[in-house]
A and B are shown apart, each in its own frame.
Chain A
């Protein structure tokens, strides 16, 4: 079984400040990891994903995340927050082994709502 824990259901940062959203995962096999963003009144869209290779993954809108196996973490960062970053962010994990059999499903965290202070 796999699971994701997002620390902090609400995070507030000032415009221009560093954004750090935390995600820890649990998986019995090497995971695939994702960050999705949900803007108000919209569906989710993919920010970035880690599959194999480089552990620092760059996504859209200046976001990046680093896969740290030893810490079972996949934290999302952005050097300088913008007002348009206000949204809810979801970390998700899928089972790499199930994926190889074409049976991949995502398990989502509970989400972190990011507020940007002008």
Chain B
């Protein structure tokens, strides 16, 4: 079974709808991240959480919110989806290694299309 799972894998929705993307992990990591990937732009950080009580905005948090329900679960919400939020969304987890060089482990991604 995959260590980091994302649901749904694909979603098509309409402008103005509320959407929730879910991420679960079995790696026991405290740190979790949400990224979006757009062609030619690479990955950009939306939100990150270093533990259940710690949530921080990334570089592109406008229009998004998150919830850290438990160590293993980190959800991303689009309160009112708009077409330029069409993208591939990735969840990732990490655990600080020695010297703080934690490797990030990625889920398979959710492809979101907003019409």
Contacts and interface: CB of A to CB of B under 8 A. Distances in A.
A43 B42 contact: no
A103 B100 CA distance: 9
A108 B99 contact: no
A52 B98 CA distance: 11
A46 B105 CA distance: 8
B69 interface: no
A108 B96 CA distance: 19
Contact of B48 (A41, A96, A105, A108): A105
A110 B42 contact: yes
B43 interface: yes
Given A99-B101, A102-B100, A106-B104, A43 B109 contact: yes
A110 B40 contact: yes
Contacts of A72: none
A108 B36 CA distance: 11
Nearest to A46: B103
Interface residues of A, number: 26
A80 interface: no
A90 B40 contact: no
A99 B106 contact: no
Contacts of A90: 42-43
20 contacts: A9-B40, A32-B101, A42-B109, A43-B90, A43-B92, A44-B43, A49-B103, A90-B42, A90-B43, A94-B101, A99-B100, A99-B101, A100-B100, A103-B50, A104-B100, A104-B102, A105-B48, A108-B42, A108-B44, A110-B42
Interface of A: 9, 32, 34, 41-46, 49, 51-52, 90, 94, 96, 99-100, 102-106, 108-111
